[in-house]
Structure 1
Amino acid sequence: MSFGFSLSDKLKKLSVADDDDEIDDSLVIGIDFGTTYSGVAWATRIDFENNQINFITSWPGNGREEGKVPTELWYDDDDGPVWGYEVPADGDPFRWFKLLLLRTEDLDPELRTSDFVIRTRTMMEESDRTVVGLITDYLRLLWEHIMSTIERARGEAVVEALAIHVVITVPAIWKGYARQAMKDAATKSGMLDSRLAGATKLTFVPEPEAAALSTLIEQGSGVQPGNVYVICDAGGGTVVSAS
């Protein structure tokens, strides 16, 4: 769990590192959109100055504080899509749908035969749903919770006045078409809708790269020439290393 926190934490520092001016009057939201679980962290300019990163640990349908929420989606015939911890115990939710943004031939051979992948693909065909549609619905519900959480913490008027920069993690193995599909889903979810404070910026960050940056930032001045850091991103669907 702490690894997910660290990854989401440094996403925001990464997102503003190349543009100091953007830190002024802005809100940066990092979304670790995972295969099995997803996490969110956020910070404003003042938060950055105080070295404070805010994590979302309260989720609908769950009375406990948890660092992440299940990346699961279930469709109720009466109430529409239900996500995360709100999925009933007897529900049969869509799982691992993030992986289906890759074409079958681009998936790791072991993932092609995964029960979750096969089951989700079959459910999509039977319900006439698309992977972009599933991710759109999930991100929309997640985004609504993100914004309501931040507005409760800082006030709706304050949040409305801030320009937003969204940073979403993506697997390093993803090809260009998968990233484009992810961007389409993010756009359709409403998170990039125009606001009075200006356009919302979207950045994708490879998961192992974000983890590597996290390690370097945590080490600070302790990083010396010749040091070697090996990062293992043991995700829910894939395992990737970087050094």
Structure 2
Amino acid sequence: MASQGGTAETNNEIWQGENKIVIGIDIGTTQSGVAFTYLVKGGKPQIHRITQWPGQVANSQTTKIPTVVWYDNQTAVSFGAEALSRDKRMDAEDNGWVLAENFKLHLHPEHMRADNLMMNPLPNGVPLSQIYSDFMGYLFKQTKSYFEDHIVDGGSIWEKYISTVEVIIAHPNGWHSREQAFMRNAAVECGVFNTPGSTIAKNITTFVYDRKDRDSQCVMLGDRLLIRRCIQLLPRNRSSN
């Protein structure tokens, strides 16, 4: 049952595994979003969709942000909604920043690229792997901030369980081992989860959705499907109430 804001219960199932943080991300060509759940043994999973991002209008409750990054030479300086603000556009013009946008198209395998597809060039000297790593790092840092602000004792819970976090990355049908490995590496290289005892390198799962399926829109983190699938992909240590 959905609740107000960015929170919803998945169903009546009770989580019987160990306490765990699960984060689902979807980096789309033009928009991206994040959802997470804090699984508590004996409790019903609740999904939290991030609805507060830097640069958004206050109380807009928008779950998606533009998939864009401004670069000053090879350094990422602004992301998402904030990057498209008037102030940041002026900063970019004054300082010669270069915008990385639609960069997901560069990762598509050849069979998914239309003959007439016009891809935006990447910023000079910035490899695609760095853009993904920088953008994921931004998403995860904002997730941490939102988690700490919206979960009771969120700061201490994050510190306690972040080393065993499960990360689910959505990607389109047609991406295979090359693209999946690329996304996993970017999540590791962003550095957000490099904590003592971290198992992040083993705890990243890719989740395929069909771009032609109507339900694929649910994966855009404005819905509960991604986190439901996240939980389903975990060991089945749960029972129905």
TM > 0.5:
yes
RMSD: 3.6
Confirm or deny: 8 A CA contact 1:69 1:84 kept in the other structure. yes
Question: 2:143 matched to 1:146?
Answer: yes
What is the CA distance between 1:35 and its match in structure 2? 1.3
1:234 and 1:28 map into 2 onto residues whose CA distance is 20
Mark the runs of 5 or more structure 2 residues left unpaired by the alignment: 1-7, 93-97, 219-241
Confirm or deny: 8 A CA contact 2:112 2:174 kept in the other structure. no
Q: Secondary structure at the match of 1:58?
A: coil
Aligned position for 1:107: 112
2:204 and 2:42 map into 1 onto residues whose CA distance is 19
Amino acid at match of 2:142: H
Q: How does 1:95-134 map to 2 (within 5 A)?
A: 95-103=101-109, 105-109=110-114, 112-115=115-118, 117=119, 120-121=120-121, 123-124=122-123, 127-134=124-131
Structure 1 residues 41-50 or 62-71, which shifts more? 41-50
1:128 and 1:52 map into 2 onto residues whose CA distance is 42
Query: Which of 35, 53, 56 matches 2:50?
Result: 56
What is the CA distance between 1:174 and its match in structure 2? 0.8
2:181 and 2:99 map into 1 onto residues whose CA distance is 25
Aligned position for 1:174: 175
What is the CA distance between 1:231 and its match in structure 2? 4.0
Confirm or deny: 8 A CA contact 1:167 1:205 kept in the other structure. yes
Question: 2:65 matched to 1:87?
Answer: no
Kindly indicate which of the two structures has a greater share of residues assigned to helix: 1
Structure 1 residues 152-161 or 140-149, which shifts more? 152-161
Aligned position for 1:5: none
Amino acid at match of 1:136: S
1:67 and 1:47 map into 2 onto residues whose CA distance is 27
What is the CA distance between 1:144 and its match in structure 2? 0.7
1:106 and 1:166 map into 2 onto residues whose CA distance is 27
Aligned position for 1:44: 38
1:47 and 1:77 map into 2 onto residues whose CA distance is 47
Percentage of matched positions with identical amino acids: 25
What is the CA distance between 1:80 and its match in structure 2? 3.8
Question: Structure 1-normalised TM-score?
Answer: 0.67
Aligned position for 1:68: 64
Q: Secondary structure at the match of 1:161?
A: helix
Question: 2:176 matched to 1:204?
Answer: no
Amino acid at match of 1:137: D
1:60 and 1:173 map into 2 onto residues whose CA distance is 32
Confirm or deny: 8 A CA contact 1:101 1:178 kept in the other structure. yes
Mark the runs of 5 or more structure 1 residues left unpaired by the alignment: 1-8, 212-229, 236-243
What is the CA distance between 1:98 and its match in structure 2? 1.4
Deviations along 1:98-154, whole A, 9 cap, x unmatched? 121135x33332xx5334x1xx22x44xx1111111111111111111111102223
1:170 and 1:102 map into 2 onto residues whose CA distance is 10
What is the CA distance between 1:95 and its match in structure 2? 1.3
What is the CA distance between 1:194 and its match in structure 2? 3.3
Q: Alpha carbons of 1:137 and 1:157: their partners in 2 closer, same or farther (altered >3 Å)? A: same
Q: Secondary structure at the match of 1:49?
A: coil
Aligned position for 1:31: 25
Question: Structure 2-normalised TM-score?
Answer: 0.68
What is the CA distance between 1:53 and its match in structure 2? 1.1
**Aligned pairs, how many?**
195
- The answer to which structure, 1 or 2, has the higher relative contact order (CA under 8 A, 6+ apart) is 2
